[in-house]
Every structure is written in C-alpha cells, then in structure tokens.
C-alpha cells in the first residue's frame, strides 16, 4: 500500500530524540555473519526496511537469523543453501553487494547480481571487483551477475583505491580478513562505519590495524569466531534531526549522538548560526541567530557528508542571503531541489553546485521523494513550511529512518502517515 506523509508546518521542535543504531554499520555487520560458523550477536540494530532486506538476503543464502529482542539480532552461518545473491534482492538494495567479499573469502565462490543504476548516480562496483581480483579471485561478469571463484583461497596484497569507496573498502576488508598473508588497503575509506566494521571483525578474531586512517593493514587469519557487538549511533540520523531542530527554530536534545563523528557538520552548522552543546542528556541543538548562508562542499569523511547534503539544502532555503552547495560524491544528488522549488525555495543548479537564495518562508505543497535523504529533506521542509505539505513515495524514507513520525511527534510536530488510495 502506497503511503504519504502529511505535515502541518510551523511548529518549532522541542524535546529529546533518541538516535538509533547506524544503518550503514548494521548492513556490513550483518554481511560479516557470513565469515564465521559461530554465533554473531548484533545489538542496537535499527528496525529499517534496508535492514530487513539484508536479513531476507542472508536468510535466502541459508543463514539462521533470529531477533533476540527488538534491536538484537543473532546470526549463525553453518552451511549455506546457495552462494548466489539474485537480482530481486540486489535490485531492492545496492548494499547487498556486501555479501560478495565474505562469500568469496569463506565459501570460495559467489554470484551476486550487478546492481543497476540508482537515483543518485551511476555508483559503479568496479573497485569492489578489482580488489577481489587483486586478492586472487577469478571474476567474470555473466548474465548480469558478478561471478567469483577462488578455489585456493584469497592471498593478501597491496590494494590502492583510486578514490575512496565506503562499501568497496568494507567488502575488501571482510575478504582480506580471511586471506592468506597481509593486505594493505591504500586510500581506504575513513568513515566511522568502516572503523566500527574493522573493530567488529577484530572482535571476531581478525587482525586489522589502521582503520580510520587512509591505510588499513589486515593480517589474514584462517577463521573467525563468534562475537557480540553494539552498533554505534547513526551519525546521519543525528545530523538530520539537528537540521530539523534548527530549521524550525526549535531546541532539541539528540540522545546518544556522537559529536566526534559529526565535527565538520557541526562546524558548518555553527557558521549557519546553529549552536550545539554537550549536556547530560545528549547534544542540545538550537539557533543562536537567523540562519546564515554557508558555502558547503560534500567530501569523504571527515568532510561534510553527502548523506546530509539534501537536508542542509533545505536549511539554506531559509537563510539570510545566498549559499552554495557543491556535491562532490554523487553526480545526481539534487533531485530534492526541484521539489523544494515547488515549496517556494529559490534554487538554481549549475552542474554540481546548487546556488540557494534564502526566502522568508516555504509554502506547503505536494512533493515527491526520490531517495532516502531527499525524502527526509522534504519532511524537514514540510515542518518549516506554512500550511500543509504532502510527501509522496514514502517507501524511500522507511529504508533509513526508524520511527521518524514518533520521534518528531514527541517534539511537537504535526505529522502523520496516511495511505494513498
Ligand atoms: N564508485 C565507483 N566504483 C566503485 C565504488 C564507488 O565508481 O566500485 C563511486 C560511486 O559511484 C560514488 C563514489 O564512488 O560516486 C563513492 O561511493 P561509495 O562507494 O563510497 O558509496 P557506497 O559505498 O555505495 C555508502 C553509503 C551511502 C553513502 C556513500 C558515500 C552504505 C550502505 N551506503 O555508499 O549511503 O552516500 O557511502 O558516503 O554504506 C545513504 O545512507 O543514504 C547512502 C546513500
């Protein structure tokens, strides 16, 4: 059943919002269960459509999975039914590619459907494939599938990524953990999710060093064992609610927010006139002035995250002046802009830069969500706008925001989900 979100804007958000476990850590952590025949317990897993998609895929492969409680998953991978991840799973979620490395490393072969294009850009997986080839796997592309084979196992080597890739680094990290000898990942992604995945693998018996720096060294081991691991809080969810608080001129405490994971984001927010302060309950976010224009460039970690670009664009639509936002990671990540324009925003796109001239107020309208972060940027716009906003195609939102309506309603927002007939 299709759903849309109805929002009556103009209410400043006030209250506390608990931040859920990180989606982009939960997805590779679930894939890591393929690396061991022992029990992996993952705590603070968010209840999200993407997490369910990952669980369905692993279930299909033959992994035994149980929810021990609402946010705790127990996964055991003794024998697999298949090493093939079919199109129907990968089509639903690109992060399904994360099973490629673990399957090839432990089961010596894999067949994973090639992800197609996606709303925000071409998003190739060539670097994932090349890294596995360098580790000694034979790789063929056949009928839309990536087929790997490594009958003698994988062998450590130096792998240099021409540019940073998060899931590419994660896939290679998981494969190299079970390779013979030492692997060095050069120009590895430095995002906190990558660091935490390495920490999880180390808890499972891997020998990984240098996570969080551009060079990660992995000394391969023969096997990995079970472990229990907690997901860190989702930095993108925290940043999203920080922007919602500022945009509505409210005051929100982000509970379990890791400020150190959001340094460049909070620096940018300060320039925009938004303060943040550590309190006993969490990080308190509020405005200290009108919203000021800031020029932002999205960058790999520790730079300003592309996953907060759409939300920040919404904040800039009501700034006092003109701001520019340059998207350096994805080539097509301004799909929210024309929708914001429908709500009265003044945005001109020039190649990879959006120039935003602040307006006094946004006006409620019917808008269409195109991807996860674009969806939530429109929700924030709806919270700010005069009158009623309807955000259509909500299924994108549910991939990455746990209990969004409840979290916002508890802060006073007037928001409800309705079915579209
Ligand atoms: N790229 C290639 N070839 C590759 C790999 C990447 O050309 O083999 C390009 C991509 O097309 C893109 C750039 O490299 O232009 C960076 O992509 P990256 O591989 O880092 O992205 P990802 O690993 O597919 C993860 C997150 C995204 C987030 C990006 C960038 C997960 C599951 N997804 O994607 O999250 O935007 O890193 O930080 O971790 C989201 O949560 O909304 C989301 C899209």
Please tell me the distance from the alpha carbon of residue 413 to that of residue 7, in angstroms, as a whole number.
Answer: 8
Q: Is the shortest distance between the CB of 125 and ligand 1 below 6 Å? A: yes
Please tell me the distance from the alpha carbon of residue 149 to that of residue 139, in angstroms, as a whole number.
Answer: 7
How remote is the CA of residue 94 from the centroid of ligand 1, in Å?
A: 9
Ligand 1 atom closest to 301 (CA): 38
Q: For 304-321, what is each residue's pLDDT tens digit?
A: 999 999 999 999 999 999
Q: Is the shortest distance between the CB of 396 and ligand 1 below 6 Å? A: no
Which percentage of the chain shows pLDDT scores above 70?
Answer: 98
Q: Is the shortest distance between the CB of 298 and ligand 1 below 6 Å? A: no
Torsion angle defined by CA atoms of residues 242, 245, 249 and 253, in that order, rounded to the nearest 10 degrees = -90
305, 237 Cβ separation under 8 angstroms? no
At 117 the pLDDT is 61
Q: Which residues are catalytic?
A: 118
Q: Which residues contact 240 (CB under 8 A, 6 or more apart)?
A: 308, 311, 376, 380, 401
Q: Is the shortest distance between the CB of 122 and ligand 1 below 6 Å? A: yes
- List the residue whose alpha carbon is closest to atom 24 of ligand 1: 167
Residue 241 pLDDT more than 70?
A: yes
Ligand 1 atom closest to 164 (CA): 20
- List the residue whose alpha carbon is closest to atom 7 of ligand 1: 124
| CB neighbourhood size of 48 (10 A) | 23
Backbone angles phi and psi of 140, in degrees to 5: -125, 145
Q: Is the shortest distance between the CB of 117 and ligand 1 below 6 Å? A: no
Ligand 1 atom closest to 170 (CA): 23
Ligand 1 atom closest to 189 (CA): 20
Strands of the sheet with 414-419, listed across from one edge = 366-368, 388-392, 3-8, 414-419
Instruction: Give which of 249, 243, 290 is closest to 269, Cα–Cα.
Output: 243
Please tell me the distance from the alpha carbon of residue 57 to that of residue 365, in angstroms, as a whole number.
Answer: 37
Residue 231 pLDDT more than 90?
A: yes
Q: Is the shortest distance between the CB of 214 and ligand 1 below 6 Å? A: no
Instruction: Give which of 285, 284, 264 is closest to 274, Cα–Cα.
Output: 285
Domains and CATH numbers, the chain: 3-20+233-419 (3.65.10.10), 23-230 (3.65.10.10)
At 79 the pLDDT is 87
In this prediction, residue 115 has a pLDDT band, given cuts at 50, 70 and 90, of confident
Q: For 131-176, what is each residue's pLDDT tens digit?
A: 999 999 999 999 999 999 999 999 999 999 999 999 999 999 999 9
| Dihedral sign for Cα atoms in the order 56, 61, 62, 64 | negative
At 88 the pLDDT is 92
Question: Could you tell me how many residues make up the chain?
Answer: 421
Q: Is the peptide bond before 125 cis (omega within 30 degrees of 0)?
A: no
Q: Ligand 1, from 100, 126, 167: best to mutate by most atoms within 8 Å of Cβ?
A: 167
Residue 282 pLDDT more than 80?
A: yes
Please tell me the distance from the alpha carbon of residue 377 to that of residue 391, in angstroms, as a whole number.
Answer: 10
How remote is the CA of residue 143 from the centroid of ligand 1, in Å?
A: 24
Instruction: Give which of 120, 119, 137 is closest to 128, Cα–Cα.
Output: 137
Q: Is the shortest distance between the CB of 128 and ligand 1 below 6 Å? A: yes
In this prediction, residue 68 has a pLDDT band, given cuts at 50, 70 and 90, of very high
The helix or strand, by DSSP H or E, that contains position 40, with its residue range, turns out to be strand 40-43
Which percentage of the chain shows pLDDT scores above 90?
Answer: 94
**In this structure, what token pair is assigned to residue 64?**
């035994």
Kind of pairing, strands 215-219 and 207-209?
antiparallel
Q: Which residues contact 16 (CB under 8 A, 6 or more apart)?
A: 252, 253, 254, 255, 281, 282, 410, 411
At 116 the pLDDT is 67
Distance from the Cα of residue 47 to its chain's centroid: 14
Q: For 116-136, what is each residue's pLDDT tens digit?
A: 666 666 668 999 999 999 999
175, 150 Cβ separation under 8 angstroms? no
Average pLDDT, the chain: 96
Please tell me the distance from the alpha carbon of residue 59 to that of residue 301, in angstroms, as a whole number.
Answer: 32
* Max intra-chain CA distance, the chain: 65
SS (H, E, C) 154-181: CECCEEECCCCCHHHHHHHHHHHHCCEC
Instruction: Give which of 405, 293, 393 is closest to 336, Cα–Cα.
Output: 393
At 369 the pLDDT is 87
Task: Give DSSP secondary structure letters for 348-375.
Answer: EEETTEEEEE--S--B--EEE--SHHHH
Residue 1 pLDDT more than 90?
A: no
| CB neighbourhood size of 210 (10 A) | 16
224, 178 Cβ separation under 8 angstroms? yes
What residues form DSSP beta bridges with 4? Answer: 418
Q: For 364-418, what is each residue's pLDDT tens digit?
A: 999 998 899 999 999 999 999 999 999 999 889 999 999 999 999 999 999 999 9
Please tell me the distance from the alpha carbon of residue 236 to that of residue 244, in angstroms, as a whole number.
Answer: 12
**In this structure, what token pair is assigned to residue 220?**
């391969």
Buried b or exposed e, range 382-392, using 16+ CB within 10 angstroms: bbbbeeebbbb
């Amino acid at each position: 059943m299709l759903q849309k979100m109805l929002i009556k804007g103009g209410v400043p958000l006030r209250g506390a919002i608990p931040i859920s476990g990180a989606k982009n850590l939960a997805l590779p952590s679930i894939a890591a269960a393929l690396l061991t025949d022992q029990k992996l317990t993952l705590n603070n897993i968010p209840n999200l459509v993407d997490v369910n998609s990952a669980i369905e895929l692993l279930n299909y492969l033959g992994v035994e999975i149980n929810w021990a409680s609402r946010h705790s998953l127990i996964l055991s991978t003794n024998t697999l039914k298949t090493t093939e991840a079919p199109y129907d799973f990968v089509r639903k979620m690109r992060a399904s590619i994360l099973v490629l490395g673990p399957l090839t490393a432990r089961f010596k072969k894999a067949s994973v459907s090639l992800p197609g294009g996606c709303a925000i850009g071409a998003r190739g997986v060539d670097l994932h494939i090349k890294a596995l080839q360098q580790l000694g796997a034979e790789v063929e592309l056949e009928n839309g599938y990536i087929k790997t084979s490594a009958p003698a196992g994988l062998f450590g080597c130096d792998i240099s990524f021409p540019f940073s890739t998060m899931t590419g680094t994660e896939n290679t990290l998981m494969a190299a953990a079970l390779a013979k000898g030492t692997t060095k990942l050069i120009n590895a992604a430095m995002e906190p999710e990558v660091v935490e995945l390495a920490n999880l693998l180390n808890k499972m018996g891997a020998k990984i060093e240098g996570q969080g720096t551009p060079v990660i060294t992995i000394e391969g081991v023969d096997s990995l064992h079970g472990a229990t691991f907690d997901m860190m809080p989702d930095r993108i969810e925290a940043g999203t609610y920080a922007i919602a608080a500022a945009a509505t001129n409210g005051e929100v405490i982000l509970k379990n927010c890791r400020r150190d994971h959001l340094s460049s984001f909070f620096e940018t927010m300060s320039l925009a006139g938004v303060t943040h302060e550590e309190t006993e309950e969490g990080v308190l976010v509020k405005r200290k002035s009108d919203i000021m224009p800031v020029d932002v460039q999205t960058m790999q970690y520790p730079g300003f995250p592309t996953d907060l670009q759409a939300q920040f664009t919404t904040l800039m639509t009501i700034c006092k002046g003109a701001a520019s936002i340059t998207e350096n990671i994805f080539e097509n990540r301004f799909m929210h802009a024309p929708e914001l324009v429908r709500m009265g925003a003044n945005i001109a796109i020039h190649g990879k830069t959006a120039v935003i001239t602040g307006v006094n107020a946004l006006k409620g309208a019917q808008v269409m969500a195109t991807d996860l972060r674009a969806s939530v940027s429109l929700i924030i716009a709806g919270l700010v706008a005069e009158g009623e906003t309807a955000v259509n195609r909500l299924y994108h939102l549910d991939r990455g925001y746990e209990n969004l309506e409840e979290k916002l309603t508890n802060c006073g927002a007037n928001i409800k989900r309705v079915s579209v007939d």
